[in-house]
Amino acid sequence: MSKKLARRHVLQGGMAIAALSVSGAAGAQTATATFPQWVETFKPRARTRGVSEATYNRVMSAVKPDTSVYALDRAQPEFREQVWQYLNRRVSDWRVTIGKERAREHGPLLARIERDTGVDRYTMLGLWGMESAFGDVVVNPKHMRPIIPALAALAWGEPRRRPYWEQELLNALVIIERGWGTPTDMVGSWAGAMGHTQWMPEVWLNMGVDYNADGRVSPFGPPDDALAGTAQYIVKRGKYRRGEGWGYEVRVPQGVTTNTTAKAPLSSWITKGITQANGQPFPRPTEFARLWQPVAGGPTFLLTQNFDAVRSYNPANTYALAILHLADRIRGGAPFVQQFPGGERALTLPEVIETQKRLTALGFDTGGTDGRLGRDSMLAVRAFQTKVGLTPADGYPGLKVLARLRAAG
């Protein structure tokens, strides 16, 4: 599995259904050796990577494989979202508000990262907000599990991607050998993504930076290391370009083909009659960009290299667009000028809180009424939609759901 596919796999896994029991999941694995036998045969691989026998025995002899991950590995995302729903839920008032608070709180850190790496501070805030809700999931045990038992189970019994999981388990053991983390500390998603910006062990090991000079690299605790290491990832692996933007929402004349893969200078697109949707001139006409329209009839964008740099963190255009639009909104920018077909505006923060409170009063568990739209809120919305006959029952907490809740009293 490539690193890019691994990133997509991790993010999809965060939305997957944990449907199988441990006993059922165990039947899904195809290991020919028992787990203790496999642990013993895997030891030479770890020793070759520089993991001492003492460290290996201490960590691996205590591991009970988390076989529930087999179900998660095979599950598909539970909610199918249209592009406008995906963006509305992630570029939410809650994330914009908290992002502005984090921008003030961590201003000196973000300015230092921007100076050292060239990565725009608001891009880092958008990515942080997207990956962990600004660290919220890191401190919420409901969303976390120990990653060593998870990776060990996948390396032992997952036949489709076994080499990838073996390498990530080895990377995690090297991290422990270096003293950067302990098995107890290393908690994350079922697939092993950890911390503020959801590092896989390979990213932690090879892209991590001891930015707060405490003697170790860590994606946990203060966000210094996580944000600086992720900025380094975007620069080194994504080829981020200092001082350039990520792209522009544009208006395209009839007859111009959208969704191109080839990049051309903005000056060339201008000669085709393409203009910024907000009416402003392009600030850097020499930038190269490609044209992309996510949905026919919806907004169109010219995307530069820095869009692709962010996309290197997870190879999905919509994912990168959500991060960068969130970044712009935290910066103080406006929503997109053009609308998506069939779309509606996102709920305001007070409207989301009202939705959650009304659902809770009707007996639907939203997991809280703080204005953050997590999986519990989506499950509650879908249950309400099903009960009252709202279709599609897609779990999207929008204006139609709020209107129906108000009508229900």
List pLDDT tens digits, range 105-143. 999 999 999 999 999 999 999 999 999 999 988 877 777
Query: What is the predicted pLDDT for the residue at 139?
Result: 76
Confidence of residue 8 (pLDDT cuts 50, 70, 90): very low
Domain harbouring 26, CATH code: 1.10.8
Structural domain including 174 reads 3-76+145-188
Residue 334 has pLDDT above 80, yes or no: yes
Query: What is the predicted pLDDT for the residue at 401?
Result: 97
Residue 304 lies in a domain: no
Q: Number of structural domains, the chain? A: 2
Q: Where are the beta strands (DSSP E) in 212-359?
A: 247-251, 264-265, 275-276, 288-292, 300-303
Confirm if 65 and 149 have CB atoms less than 8 A apart: yes
Residue 317 lies in a domain: no
**What amino acid occupies position 4?**
K
Burial class (CB in 10 A: 0-12, 13-18, 19+), 409: exposed
Residue 299 lies in a domain: no
Query: What is the predicted pLDDT for the residue at 236?
Result: 98
Residue 7 has pLDDT above 60, yes or no: no
List pLDDT tens digits, range 23-79. 334 444 556 799 999 999 999 999 999 999 999 999 999 999 999 999 888 875 666
Lowest mean pLDDT among 6-10, 97-101, 278-282: 6-10
Query: What is the predicted pLDDT for the residue at 103?
Result: 98
Q: What is the pTM of this model?
A: 0.89
**CA–CA separation, 363 and 60 (whole Å):** 44
Residue 164 lies in a domain: yes
Which residues 6+ apart lie within 8 Å of 328 measured at CB?
122, 126
List pLDDT tens digits, range 283-316. 999 999 999 999 999 999 999 999 999 999 999 9
Lowest mean pLDDT among 7-16, 38-47, 176-185: 7-16
Domain harbouring 384, CATH code: 1.10.101
Lowest mean pLDDT among 17-21, 189-193, 251-255, 317-321: 17-21
List pLDDT tens digits, range 216-252. 999 999 999 999 999 999 999 999 999 999 999 999 9
Residue 66 lies in a domain: yes
**What amino acid occupies position 147?**
I
Query: What is the predicted pLDDT for the residue at 77?
Result: 60
Last residue of a domain, one of 165, 188, 211: 188
Residue 233 lies in a domain: no
Query: What is the predicted pLDDT for the residue at 141?
Result: 72
Query: What is the predicted pLDDT for the residue at 72?
Result: 84
Residue 176 lies in a domain: yes
